[in-house]
Chain A
Amino acid sequence: MATDKKKRMAIIASKGTLDMAYPPLILASTAAAMDVEAAIFFTLYGVDIVNKRKNKSLQVAPIANPAMPSPVPFPNILGVLPGMTPMATAMMKGMIKKINWPSIPELVELCLESGVKMIACTPTLEMTGVKKEDLVEGVEVAGAAEFLDFALDADMTLFI
């Protein structure tokens, strides 16, 4: 440890698409490697990132995402066509593989192994019928006050 008191980072992960699952996990695992005490609070769709029945098959949709890279020029509205979301997802998975990035389940494990506190939001679980058994082992379950209690002493907070 470089300093006496550990730095602290608190992240809210609110999105459950393949692209948006990476930033909270990458930042938290890197923070842990930098001896930062990190926590991710998974809320709403973000809970899918730590749902072991879903986190292998997160998707990304091309519709309403003009930034999505495409091999050919492509009117964005065509993203509504059947098969476009699986196609965009396969394309993104290909790009992820090309740069040797870990998969989402692997990155979740890396976070847990390195001591990142992973908390799934209880009202979301209630709302979506997701049980604690559906979550990756090691993920805790708590509400807003628990996250705030951690985040109020944080040096950095992010909403993703």
Chain B
Amino acid sequence: MSDIKPDKTADLKGLNCPMPVLKTKKAIEALEAGQILEVEVTDPGSKSDIPAMLKRTGNELLEMKEEGNVIKFLIKKVA
């Protein structure tokens, strides 16, 4: 995806709203501050849902990329 190496990866393909947001948040909570999480989803709503959740929780979206029907996020835990 890019040269940033994730500390953890969450495969949330096939899940629909609200599960990608809930599971992404849970995965962020399991990280240490500064660690990177890679999330893979197929729910198109996640393109706006996950950034909205990150904004509200003070975490950082480093990258969002679409590969076919898979959307990949790179997230840095801040809060």
Q: A-side interface residues toward B, CB under 8 Å?
A: 1-2, 7, 26, 29-30, 33-36, 99-102, 110, 114
Q: Is the CB of B79 within 8 A of A100?
A: no
Interface string of B36-79 (1 = CB under 8 A from A): 00000000000000001101111000000000000000000001
Grouping DSSP codes into helix (H, G, I), strand (E, B) and loop, the A interface class, with mixed when no group exceeds half, is loop
Tell me the nearest residue of chain A to B15, going by C-beta.
A100
Q: Are A2 and B21 neighbours in the complex by a CB distance under 8 Å?
A: no
Per the CB 8 Å criterion, the residue count for chain B at the interface is: 18
With most chain A CB atoms within 10 A of its CB, the pick from B21, B22, B24, B53 is B22
A1 touches B21 (CB 8 A): no
Q: Nearest residue in B to A110 (C-beta to C-beta)?
A: B22
| Residue of A whose beta carbon sits closest to that of B14 | A100
Whole-angstrom distance between the Cβ of A126 and the nearest chain B Cβ: 33
Inside 8 A of B22's CB, which chain A residues have their CB? 29-30, 33, 110, 114
Say which residue of B14, B16, B56 sits within 8 Å of A35 (CB atoms): B56
With a 10 A CB-CB cut-off, give which of A34, A110, A114 has the most chain B CB atoms.
A34
Complex formed: what's the CA distance from A119 to B25 in Å?
24
* B58 / chain A contacts, CB cutoff of 8 Å: 1-2, 35
Q: How many A-B residue pairs have CB under 8 A?
A: 45
User: Across the interface, do A2 and B14 meet the contact criterion of CB distance under 8 Å?
Assistant: no
Taking a contact as CB atoms closer than 8 A, the residue among A2, A29, A102, A114 that contacts B57 in the complex is: A2
Given the complex, which residues of A lie within 8 Å of B55, measured CB to CB? 2
Instruction: Please name 6 pairs of A and B residues whose Cβ atoms are closer than 8 Å in the assembled complex, sorted by A.
Output: A1-B57, A2-B79, A30-B53, A34-B21, A34-B52, A114-B22
Task: Out of A2, A34, A100, name the residue touching B16 (CB < 8 Å).
Answer: A100
In the complex formed, the residue of A with least CB distance to B49 is A30
Chain A proximity of B1: nearest CB distance (Å): 24
Q: How far is the CB of A146 from chain B (nearest CB, A)?
A: 26
Mask for B4-33, Cβ within 8 A of A = 1, else 0? Answer: 000000000011111101101110000000
Instruction: Please give, as numbers and ranges, the residues of chain A lying within 8 Å of B56 by CB-CB distance.
Output: 2, 7, 34-36
In the bound complex, how far is the Cα of B26 from the Cα of A101, in angstroms? 17
In the complex, residue of chain A having the shortest beta-carbon distance to the beta carbon of B59: A2
A30 with B16: CB separation less than 8 A = no
